[in-house]
Copies of this chain bind each other. A is one copy, B any other.
Amino acid sequence: MSEHHTHAPLADLTDEALAGLLADQRAAYEEVAVRGLSLDVTRGKPSTAQLDLSDALLTLPTSTRDRSGTDVRNYGGLQGLPELREIFAELLGVDLAQLIAGNNSSLTMMRDCLVDLLLFGGVDSPRPWKDEERVTFVCPVPGYDRHFALLEELGIDMVTVPMTEHGPDVDAVRALVADDPSVKGMWLVPTYANPTGRTTSQEVAAELTAMVTAAPDFKIFWDNAYALHHLAETQTKTADVLSLASAAGNPHRAILFASTSKITYAGAGVAFLASSQEQVAWYLAHLGKGSIGPDKVNHLRHAEFFGDADGVRAHMRAHAEIIAPKFAAVDEVLSRRLGGQEIATWNTPEGGYFVNLDIVPGTASRVVALAKEVGLALTPAGASFPYGEDPRDENIRLAPTMPPLEEVREAMDVVATCVLLATAEKLTEERATR
């Protein structure tokens, strides 16, 4: 397929060249349409090959007792199996006493925290959040759609701040939290953020943990979902948020979440929560009313599988070997088809599960609709914003881990065609009404 443009800014095209581009992309699109594709890059799910890496779990544990002799099959052990917590305390850089191992979902632990804050208030709350006139969370955007959906369900308002290269825009956060006591917390995916791939720097983390907040019980929901999910040799180090918060005199400000969902099995892993010991006790006190303990057999299964923290590190390198080529393919196809035309920017993440694609404002919804029409499922436009509303309609989240490499290539080619077509359509329309 020839492309009329020469990877020069699309806006500089003559009317004639633009008409040629539009015709070409329409033809390319029609060609895709007849292929009857069924591709999906919507969700950050591990691929079959990645899941296979953990299949030794299927015949573990070999023992039914933990190292203290406790039978893991029976009730109890609300904080989780010590030997598994030890491995992840090292990896997450927290004290053993600060860490809880739960069931299979860190999202559940986040919802539990929010529910408990609403119904009872936290260790430093003047009253239950439900008794506040209004509760607001700061949401760096683009961000994780499930974070926003959770707040929406619970009636918590959302205000946005931009993600910069080094994490959320601290000045914007500070302006929101300094005087308004209704601003009770913020989301943050500190490492290889969903979907921007950006990592919050030590400096930004230090400022967020130390900043003055009007609310005495301001919480940073530090969702370190991709803490260990490096794609490159250089492994980004996450800021030690609990120590920073403690040093700044705000020991209860941060609650850290993590899980093995994208380390072992997405649906059958182990989730973790870490915070100040007082806040951990607060969480466990409420958890204990509705649980007699997590699935400790699964904890022991994981502890035996990994052996130690190095076992986890080695396992993550095996993941990277499978998915790094997929991320490279995304960059390769997008660069070839969309590069140099000033119509699209995307990141080349060093970790995590997503590529963040920003295109010409006003075209993202059109691209997602075009793609859907020809059998490519993309995350709905706006999904990475509160209430699903991208104010500029320019952001698309790409999740390349699940499909096989060849399908990732094909999907990205379709994305590029749809982006070029939507952009050419828009430019043509703009010139017509000029």
Contacts and interface: CB of A to CB of B under 8 A. Distances in A.
Which bucket holds chain A's interface residue count?
35 or more
Contacts of A267: 72-77, 292-297
Interface string A148-184: 0110011000000000000000000000000000000
Contact of A104 (B118, B150, B154, B295): B295
A98 B171 CA distance: 50
A119 B115 contact: yes
What is the predominant secondary structure among interface residues of chain A facing chain B?
A: loop
A298 to B, nearest CB: 7
B289 A153 contact: yes
Interface string A114-143: 010011000000000010000000000000
Contacts of A75: 43, 45, 261, 266-267
A376 B104 CA distance: 37
A96 interface: no
A38 interface: no
A111 interface: yes
A2 to B, nearest CB: 40
A58 B55 contact: no
A268 interface: yes
A150 B107 contact: no
A123 to B, nearest CB: 16
Contacts of A297: 57-58, 265, 267-268
Interface in A26-80: 43, 45-46, 48, 51, 54-55, 57-62, 64, 71-77
A110 interface: yes
A112 interface: yes
Given A55-B64, A107-B290, A119-B130, 4 more contacts: A77-B267, A105-B290, A153-B289, A267-B292
Interface of A: 43, 45-46, 48, 51, 54-55, 57-62, 64, 71-77, 103-105, 107-108, 110-112, 115, 118-119, 130, 146, 149-150, 153-154, 261, 265-268, 286, 289-298
